[in-house]
Amino acid sequence: MQEKNISIAGAGLVGSLLSLYLAKRGHKVEIFERRPDARKNLLDGGRSINLALSDRGLQALAKVGLEEKVLKEMAIPMYGRVMHSREGKLTYQPYGKEGQAINSVSRAGLNMLMMDEAEKRGVKIHFSQACADVDLENASAVYRNREGEERKVESDLLFGADGAFSAVRSIMQKTDRFSYSQEYIEHGYKELEIPAGPNGEFLLEKNALHIWPRGSYMLIALPNPDASFTCTLFFPMDGEVSFASLDTVDKARSFFEKEFADALDMMPNFDRDWQENPDSSLVIIRCFPWTRNAKVALIGDASHAIVPFYGQGMNAGFEDCFVLDRLMDEYGDDWEGLLKAYEVERKPDADAIADLAMRNFVEMRDLTGDPEFLLRKKIEVRFSEKYPEKWSPLYSLVTFSPEVRYSDAIALGKRQDELMAEIMSMPNIHENWDSPEVEERMLALAEKL
């Protein structure tokens, strides 16, 4: 493969990983990142913000030799979800088969680890350099530092890995036949914290993702290595019950006393967190094409920003890198063919995970508290454990089956929904759910998948 000078705008999660893939192929890679070096300037006041890393992301990390390091050094496996009712009753639901887990990792920690590795492998990262303009014909770009000084950088190829509000994409948006949509959902989010207990212990089950489902909103908590939990309240931005209506910390506190009493008891810094942490928006961004002139390409959130409810945004961005790498094997120096194949292959998968993520919000906030839904899950899990080759629940396809494309998973999930509706309408299903009769019916229906 012919060595290229490749620039990447954005040293976030996806830009950093992409640089490792490109450097591995012998390309000369430079990243231009708008923010200062997080390794020197602790961002977010040192707050832990974590993400769920699952098999698609791990598969992509494995190919650049980082899977084990990440799992060993910074991941806390979460084997299932623990639902907290208003009365404080707990219900546990495993995510997959025994031993299968999603992993809570620090966003900043993972990003810094990948930047360190990238530099070790020859990638040059320039900080405080915001992409301000791009020439889509020849992959050159203008970067601006904090003092407003600009520099022009020429390259053979430019990747926009600069996130949901990508500057590179904003230039592409001005070109003919570029489709773009941006949708803010009704809900936003706020981060809160459950610190470690007095003896440095976890105050909730460590190896689980905690959910307080409350119908139209929910609170979740993911564990951190320091025994704290980062909690996120997903909540309407406006309306009768919303961030706008809880406009004083006293109102927020009495709301939590009613809705999330057990969580509030573990939040000594609730008042501070509520007031200081922003109400952040959630946006879905779709666009196409993702590449221009075989010179400029979008990747990660720059091309597909989704809501966080399937824990797949970063995983999908990592999968972009993994797919691109496979296509580099197939296409060699034919970057035109390669980039075309990349956008054509990835777009349906990005659309599928965007839809799945929105749908999972309803499942998490509403259905995880619904006995009917929990029974359906129980039947599916039991059946798929006995007949793994005949049935894999949608969650497992998305989270634990990177060999299945998101677009295939969503299609299969739709057919499974129809079949499960039949099962759930069987007489006395609540009593007979584990009977041979139900199993036989499942076997017959699974043949139709």
Would you tell me which residues interact with ligand FAD (CB under 6 A)?
9-15, 32-35, 51-52, 130-131, 161-163, 167, 189, 232, 300-302, 308, 311-315, 317
Residue 168 or 445 with smaller CB distance to ligand FAD: 168
Nearest residue to 170 via CA among 303, 364, 71, 269: 303
Nearest residue to 103 via CA among 318, 412, 353: 318
* Two structure tokens written together for 216: 């139209």
Residue 31 or 381 with smaller CB distance to ligand FAD: 31
Q: What is the DSSP string of 248-268?
A: SHHHHHHHHHHHSHHHHTT-T
* Two structure tokens written together for 285: 């961004």
Kindly state the smallest distance separating residue 15's Cβ from ligand FAD, in Å. Answer: 5
Residue 154 or 330 with smaller CB distance to ligand FAD: 154
The DSSP bridge partners found for residue 193 are 230
State which residue has the least CB distance to ligand FAD.
12
Residue 404 or 426 with smaller CB distance to ligand FAD: 404
Kindly state the smallest distance separating residue 318's Cβ from ligand FAD, in Å. Answer: 8
Residue 80 or 337 with smaller CB distance to ligand FAD: 80
Q: Strand pairing of 179-194 and 50-53?
A: unpaired
Separation of alpha carbons 207 and 261, rounded Å: 22
Kindly state the smallest distance separating residue 339's Cβ from ligand FAD, in Å. Answer: 17
Kindly state the smallest distance separating residue 106's Cβ from ligand FAD, in Å. Answer: 11
Q: Strand pairing of 208-213 and 150-153?
A: unpaired
Residue with tokens 């997903």: 234
Residue with tokens 């779709």: 286
Kindly state the smallest distance separating residue 31's Cβ from ligand FAD, in Å. Answer: 8
Q: Which residues contact 414 (CB under 8 A, 6 or more apart)?
A: none
Kindly state the smallest distance separating residue 305's Cβ from ligand FAD, in Å. Answer: 7
Kindly state the smallest distance separating residue 120's Cβ from ligand FAD, in Å. Answer: 19
Residue 143 or 391 with smaller CB distance to ligand FAD: 143
Kindly state the smallest distance separating residue 83's Cβ from ligand FAD, in Å. Answer: 18
Kindly state the smallest distance separating residue 47's Cβ from ligand FAD, in Å. Answer: 13
Kindly state the smallest distance separating residue 99's Cβ from ligand FAD, in Å. Answer: 20
Kindly state the smallest distance separating residue 320's Cβ from ligand FAD, in Å. Answer: 9
Output b/e per residue, 372-388; b: 16+ Cβ within 10 A: eeeebbebbbebbeeee
Residue 58 or 419 with smaller CB distance to ligand FAD: 58
Residue 363 · residue 215 · CB < 8 Å: no
Residue 131 or 204 with smaller CB distance to ligand FAD: 131
CA distances from residue 281 to 237, 246, 278, 292, 357 in whole angstroms, order as listed: 8, 16, 9, 29, 16
CA distances from residue 347 to 84, 177, 298, 352 in whole angstroms, order as listed: 37, 16, 11, 9
Residue 315 or 384 with smaller CB distance to ligand FAD: 315
Residue 157 · residue 7 · CB < 8 Å: yes
Residue 19 or 242 with smaller CB distance to ligand FAD: 19
Nearest residue to 155 via CA among 173, 170, 137, 172: 137
Nearest residue to 105 via CA among 57, 151, 44: 57
Residue 338 or 398 with smaller CB distance to ligand FAD: 398
Q: List the end-to-end C-alpha distance of the chain, in Å, as a whole number.
A: 42
